[in-house]
Amino acid sequence: MRVGSRWLIAAAVVGVAALAGAAAKRGITPEDYFAFESIGDAHISPDGKQVAYVVTTVDQKRNRRDTAIWVTGVDGQSAPRRLTGEGVNSSSPRWSSDGSRLAFVSSRGGQTPEPATGSTSTPADPPRSQIYILRMDGGEAQVLTHLKNGVGAFQWAPDAQRLVAVSRTGPSDDVDPSARRSDVRHYFHISYKFNDTGWYDDKRSHLWVVDAATGAAKQLTTGDDWNDLDPQWSPNSSRIAFVSDRTGKEYDDGHNKDVWVIAAEGGPLTRISDHEFDDTQPRWSPDGRQIAFAGQTARRQFPKLYIASAAGGARSSLAVEDLDFIPTGLQWGPGAKELRFESGVKGQSHVFRVDLSICKKISVAIKPFPA
């Protein structure tokens, strides 16, 4: 997340606090919760002049949350304007590198029809979230992807010619959707359900590369026993780093995610991390020669920051000695001699800077906003 994004989110928190303060004169009621509007996932345009973000509201009558994408000037001189329409949820705004396009995820297509009275068929699947592209010089947003199970996370390639998307796929994709569905499930692993997720199905998350002009999609990774997540483009748009537990034990209480690299055109995988426990958050150095990541060498250990060669085959090295924080939001820069990350400290969020050129020194990059 960019530093500017944190300022915008902090402004939202202050706004909510002000609303709560005003309500304190009469006492806050449960109904006040439904009036709250929250903002998040803010991203500054490449030219630094605009910020796109997500506004979440509560629709009490329909018992749901609605999300929409808004944009406003960073200088605060222009009024915020809504970019996506009402009635559909839109999220994850991401700028192309030249700032001419804004990609986002949205599920559109109307309400799911109910089966006719007496019918033995099941309702049609609800619309899946797909990537839409909105040109900033005008016009309506156009759907880019048509993946069967929709799109979760995605990221633009630095050259803005392609995107990498995470989508789910599995054996049941080949089953005739008009056939009557059985509620019988067969499970062969220790993990078969999860809180707020419910029963697992046979689908797994994998990577797809999508042409930004035509929407043509090519599946890069496969496998029925693991999920491929958090794809990150190399600076020259030729390779993609991602996280996956390729031991085949992810659903048998496995804890060995690794960082891998694959060519954007597909091909063999290169393992980057070298630990027996979870390694996550791969981030490319600006020159594409190294990858920083958060890794564990023991279960339930605080993740530590490591740096490894992007070519693989070499041992990783600690970026920070005796790190006593849980790093999130890891990123390089500015430049190739700094890392930045976020971490919670006594109930507050701090941003930290790691100076790799001065004995791996760590310091507070941005102090928390005052209460």
332-366 pLDDT tens trace:
988 889 999 999 998 899 999 999 987 556 666 65
What average pLDDT score do residues 150-167 get? Answer: 97
What average pLDDT score do residues 170-184 get? Answer: 82
pLDDT at 117: 37
At residue 18, the 3 state secondary structure works out as helix
Nearest Cα residue to 271 out of 315, 306, 237, 305: 315
Q: Is the pLDDT higher at 157 or at 176?
A: 157
User: What is the C-alpha separation between 232 and 154, in angstroms, rounded?
Assistant: 9
Rounded alpha-carbon distances, angstroms, from residue 69 to 7, 57, 72, 365: 18, 12, 10, 29
Examine the pLDDT at 94 and tell me if it is beyond 70: yes
User: What is the C-alpha separation between 51 and 44, in angstroms, rounded?
Assistant: 4
Q: Strand 217-219's sheet: what is its strand order? A: 154-156, 162-169, 204-211, 217-219
pLDDT at 8: 45
Of the listed ranges 2-16, 26-40, 266-280, the one predicted with least confidence: 2-16
Examine the pLDDT at 3 and tell me if it is beyond 80: no
Q: Is the pLDDT higher at 95 or at 125?
A: 95
User: What is the C-alpha separation between 104 and 95, in angstroms, rounded?
Assistant: 9
pLDDT at 112: 38
What average pLDDT score do residues 56-60 get? Answer: 92
User: What is the C-alpha separation between 5 and 239, in angstroms, rounded?
Assistant: 27
Contact 89, 107 (CB under 8 A): yes
Confidence of residue 147 (pLDDT cuts 50, 70, 90): very high
Contact 306, 318 (CB under 8 A): yes
Domain with CATH 2.120.10.30 in the chain: 144-170+202-371
What average pLDDT score do residues 202-216 get? Answer: 97
**Structure-block tokens of residue 326:** 């849980």
Average pLDDT, the chain: 87
**Structure-block tokens of residue 41:** 């996932």
Confidence of residue 185 (pLDDT cuts 50, 70, 90): confident
Q: Is the pLDDT higher at 9 or at 298?
A: 298
Confidence of residue 124 (pLDDT cuts 50, 70, 90): low
Examine the pLDDT at 116 and tell me if it is beyond 50: no
pLDDT at 308: 96
Examine the pLDDT at 17 and tell me if it is beyond 90: no
Examine the pLDDT at 33 and tell me if it is beyond 90: no
**CATH superfamily assigned to domain 144-170+202-371:** TolB, C-terminal domain (2.120.10.30)
Examine the pLDDT at 46 and tell me if it is beyond 60: yes
Of the listed ranges 46-60, 180-194, 255-269, 299-313, the one predicted with least confidence: 180-194
